[in-house]
Structure 1
Amino acid sequence: MNPTDYFDKVIGREGGYSNNPADRGGETMWGVTAATARAFGYAGPMAQMTRDTAIAIYRSRYWTQPRFDQVQAVDADIAEKLLDIGVNMGPATGVQFMQRALNVLNQQGKAFPDISTDGGIGPMTLAALKAFVDQRGNDGRRVLLGMIAALQSVRYVEIAEKNPSQETFEYGWQLNRALGVAA
């Protein structure tokens, strides 16, 4: 799948302009926070940010910079999941979920070495992902994707437990994010 198709799916889930006082991300347009838009160089009103600008931000900040394009070369569904988590929780978070899962799926280092859970896609993480997928095939892909989704789900629960105002978003997070994106 073309990355723009993934971005369109994220935008479809995120919707247009939002400025919900309970949303920790603050003011957003197409799922892009004002802080992220400003860091990217967008200076206009958030409600007027174009979809094309949002896609450019997604491509740079949430696809190319975290190297999800390289993950896509190994497994497209996992790359899509990492993109979605990245937009909602920051790019490193989904990568850490994947790294943690790979570390407990490596047969105590017999299948491939443990990797750092640093949240970055580097040569060791890519090698571990490729080794796992090569060894376990489609069943392994489903297991890994399920584990990433489970960790994402738990993170959402922890957010709402820590800050009850976030319970407003919990059902939607679980339905549309943890369970709804390639899970």
Structure 2
Amino acid sequence: MARETLPVALELMFGDEGGYSNRASDRGGPTKYGITHTTIVAHRGVSSVTADQVKGLTKMEAEDIYRRSYWGQSGGDLLPPGLDYAAFDFGVNSGPARAVKTLQKVVGAREDGHVGEQTLAAVRRYPGGVGAVIREHCAARMAYLRSLTNPQTGFPVNGRGWTIRVIGKDPKKQWADQPGVIGNALRLAANASGSDVEKTQTPPEAGAKADSRDTGLGEVLKKPEAWGPLGGLLSAGGALFAGNGPVQWLWPLRSSQASASGCTTSSGAFARLGDVQPYLSGRWRCCRRPRRLPRHAGGQRRLAAARGARRGQGRRARRSPSSHHESNRRTDQCSGSRSR
């Protein structure tokens, strides 16, 4: 449908993604024309490529890679003119799936990363037409770029270049205003021939890959889907400490039993790992009693032996000198009351 805009989109792309680069602040590593070494490896079907091989990438091969791996996956053959270029540029910079999902979120379609009939229908129904979709899509792209807060490879070091690339304005006012992706996309939407588009000049950091791995923790937690794994982890931890699992019968101390046995560990505290062994051998009475052993061969005999050991310790505790004197004192009091 919008294939006529592809040659124009490619020329604009080579303006934003020009030449070879291998900057420390770019997660893409060795890159030429915006195509990383890993993309070249996948396209050529080889195990690896050297930096010199990346430098030797021709413009013709780069165009072929763009056609095969970015244009179609970003919806270029289906989306209206102008919007196809905006999604294509976003896809080269951050991945086609990210570009399409952002578009789907803007228009209220299902975010599956693939442009289909539902996405196209949502674009057609969007209030304000294609121009409004382009503006909102570029605004959502800038919001995504600002969420990449990694100080080494995120917005703090590449944000100025990304801003010039997308909206055509330099935050530091050192570069002249340009149409940017948003301006040229709007021009293509008005005139698909691309006769009035303007090739932009951007700083080197404009071509740095915007990777979601650079997203800050604060931005991740703002997304509802991020709370699923975290909520599961918290629930599991709560169940572990509140239920009847091994933590309850091995480590926590009962305050009443601890005070009665003279245990020095405070109530509610955890016993040292080395204190667990005496309990397992039946000589430690500060913790809760363990669950019943499985009913396998010999299990009942071991359970009976453990219970016998605990009962034996209880008898020794009752026969201690302090307990014996206390028992004699109560007996003397009782006999005295009867004699009176």
Task: Please report the TM-score for the alignment, with normalisation by the length of structure 1.
Answer: 0.82
Greater RCO, CA 8 A, separation 6+:
1
Aligned to 2:78: 70
- Pick from 19, 36, 39: which aligns with 2:39? 36
Quick one: percent identity of the two aligned structures? 30
Structure 1, gaps ≥5 residues long: 104-114
Deviation at 1:142, TM superposition (A): 2.2
**Between structures 1 and 2, the one with greater helix share:** 1
- Pick from 96, 99, 102: which aligns with 1:97? 102
Which amino acid is 1:5 matched to?
A: V
1:9, 1:15 → 2: CA distance? 10
Aligned to 1:108: none
Contact 1:92 1:120 in 2 (8 A): yes
- Pick from 136, 142, 153: which aligns with 1:153? 142
1:51, 1:65 → 2: CA distance? 20
Q: Which moved more, 1:94-103 or 1:60-69?
A: 60-69
Deviation at 1:178, TM superposition (A): 4.7
Structure 2, gaps ≥5 residues long: 169-179, 184-340
Point out 4+ residue stretches in structure 1 off by more than 4 angstroms. none
Contact 2:106 2:137 in 1 (8 A): yes
* Number of matched pairs: 162
Which amino acid is 2:182 matched to?
A: A
Q: Which moved more, 1:36-45 or 1:81-90?
A: 36-45
Deviations 1:118-174 (A, max 9, x none): 111112112222333xxx4xx332221111111110111111x2x012322110101
Deviation at 1:10, TM superposition (A): 0.7
1:164, 1:150 → 2: CA distance? 22
2:73, 2:131 → 1: CA distance? 25
Which amino acid is 2:181 matched to?
A: V
Indicate whether 1:88 and 2:99 are aligned.
no
1:67, 1:176 → 2: CA distance? 20
Matches within 5 A, 1:9-158: 9-41=12-44, 45-71=53-79, 75-103=80-108, 115-132=109-126, 136=127, 139-158=128-147
The structure with the largest alpha-carbon Rg is 2
Which amino acid is 2:125 matched to?
A: A
Contact 1:80 1:182 in 2 (8 A): no
Distance 1:66 1:144, change over 3 A: closer
Deviation at 1:27, TM superposition (A): 0.9
Deviation at 1:42, TM superposition (A): 6.7
1:175, 1:21 → 2: CA distance? 20
Contact 2:75 2:84 in 1 (8 A): no
Task: Please report the TM-score for the alignment, with normalisation by the length of structure 2.
Answer: 0.45
